[in-house]
Copies of this chain bind each other. A is one copy, B any other.
Amino acid sequence: MRLCLYYVVGFTCALSAGVYAQAGVQQAQSITGAELKGLAPVSDEILKVELPKAEEADLDNGLHLMVLEDRRVPIVSVQVILIGAGGYYDPPDHAGLAGFTASLLREGTATRSSVEIAEALETLASRVNVSTDMSLQAATMRLSSLVEYLDQTIALAADVLLRPSFPEEELALFKTREQAGLIEQRTRPRFLAVERLAKVIYGDHPAGRTSPTPETLDRTTRDDLIAFHREHYVPDHAVIAIAGDISMADAFPAVERHFGAWASSGTRPPTVDDPEPIGPSRLYLINREASVQTNLVVGTQAINRTSDDYDILSVMNQIVGGGPSSRLFLNLREDKGYTYGAYSSFTAQRYRGDWDASTEVRTEVTGDALAELLRELVRIHDEPVPEQEFQDAKRSIVASFALSLESPNALLNNFVVRHLYDLPDDYWDRYPERIMSVTREQVQEVAAKYLDAGRLHIVAVGDGEQISGMLTSFGAVDVYDDQGTLIETVGGDQ
């Protein structure tokens, strides 16, 4: 593609002059442009955004309240983020307890049965859910309501959150449902791949667990739930984030009315540890007989959310596997026809997270696909990214960001992230500018730092009989069955 660099004069888009402009987005600061075959040339201005600000306030018990007013529809969404109640804080010998507790909150309170809660929500046309994940610090309650019934919905949510009764019969039903799910998930190749990769990337770190076991589920008692709830559901470090048809002036008293009596625990903010540094590269095969496809996942440790490399890794990831114009997608799908798609992504929280690339390919091309995938990870640090591809990737990130601003909840999530990770006040206002200022040299540096071939771990889930020979050409392979049991090591020096 022919490149044609030139400068254009920045300009300002038409902005809504409404009393509520959800997100003022402007374009400015021209850099370079490109000419497209047969199309008018495009310029490379940076999208300059001016986000509406969330109002913030603290309750006496430590609860932090954030409100993003949006008057377009008479609906309010609320998130209650309970730092310290997430799966990260499962007792070491009781994997899943945080998740069980979150799931069972809605199944009964001191004054309401499970069915009464469901019926009340239906009458209010409101929704309330609580969820967490084994790698997360927080459990999160999400609720939405017509503004007219917000007070009743918050009252119900507070009842569920503060006064759950964990009825024995609901626990028994829950176990029955979950046990079936724990068996069923082992039939899904994607689950098996993610489970193994988490173990090899995080080791004994809490993020190394993907799922409870039938055993930890089975021995969970009502007392376990009550104890976990008592210790971990505290207001001190919790955040209530509200978006919608309400002001701080109206939200604060409603929250105080229903959550104000929630007693502070006086505890310090819950802490996290980084995982142990990752060990040398290795291959893992989960044998799933008669699979017609192989799930391939290649992963390693990367960064935490406050790393200086966050923006740079975002750009690198966009180029490698961030979507249908990424290298993995174009190579493995468009060029080779191995797969429907190939993607990469990374997680970044308070502790050091992971970066991984994944694809599902036809059994017979497993070896070729893995070779191409690894080749792309070498190329991103060995060769400078061509200028046009580089600018396109950055612009794509900024365009997706701009698009996300349409949703008040996405906007509010940004503010929550800013708060949780103590990021600067103008963090999101300056996000497009920071992304556009990433350089090609920086991308090569972070690729060299995090995609070191000696630290990449490779998981393949598929028909062992057909693919183990392909995999051993890359090194020794630990072979597991679909229950996660190591069967043997084949190939390489072992």
Which residues of chain A have a CB within 8 Å of any CB of chain B? 1, 13-23, 25, 27, 34, 36-40, 42-43, 45, 47, 71-75, 111-112, 114-116, 118-125, 144, 146-149, 151-152, 155-156, 159, 172-174, 176-177, 180-181, 183-184, 187, 245, 292-293, 324-325, 330, 333-334, 336-340, 361-362, 388-389, 391-393, 395-396, 398-399, 402-403, 405-408
Contacts of A406 in B (CB 8 A): 72-73, 75, 407-408
Known: A25-B74, A42-B124, A122-B392. A333 touches B177 (CB 8 A): yes
Complex Cα distance, B151 from A316, in Å, reads: 29
How many copies are assembled?
2
Smallest CB gap from A119: residue in B: B1
Smallest CB gap from A364: residue in B: B180
Out of B37, B391, B395, name the residue touching A120 (CB < 8 Å): B37
Shortest distance between the CB of A198 and any CB in chain B (Å): 22
B37/A72 in contact, CB under 8 A? no
A147/B37 in contact, CB under 8 A? no
Contacts of A38 in B (CB 8 A): 111-112, 155, 159
Complex Cα distance, B40 from A277, in Å, reads: 55
Complex Cα distance, B180 from A405, in Å, reads: 38
Known: A152-B42, A325-B122. A362 touches B180 (CB 8 A): yes
Complex Cα distance, B25 from A27, in Å, reads: 32
Complex Cα distance, B335 from A174, in Å, reads: 10
Please name 25 pairs of A and B residues whose Cβ atoms are closer than 8 Å in the assembled complex, sorted by A.
Answer: A17-B18, A17-B19, A18-B20, A22-B72, A22-B73, A23-B72, A27-B148, A37-B111, A37-B112, A37-B120, A40-B155, A42-B148, A47-B146, A73-B403, A73-B405, A118-B325, A119-B325, A119-B388, A123-B391, A125-B395, A144-B403, A183-B292, A187-B292, A406-B408, A407-B407
Known: A73-B25, A73-B403. A184 touches B16 (CB 8 A): no
Complex Cα distance, B401 from A73, in Å, reads: 11
Contacts of A114 in B (CB 8 A): 334
Contacts of A23 in B (CB 8 A): 72-73
With most chain B CB atoms within 10 A of its CB, the pick from A111, A393, A396, A408 is A396
Complex Cα distance, B154 from A2, in Å, reads: 21
With most chain B CB atoms within 10 A of its CB, the pick from A71, A177, A388 is A177
Complex Cα distance, B37 from A112, in Å, reads: 8
Shortest distance between the CB of A409 and any CB in chain B (Å): 9
With most chain B CB atoms within 10 A of its CB, the pick from A39, A114, A398 is A39
Out of B120, B147, B172, name the residue touching A39 (CB < 8 Å): B120
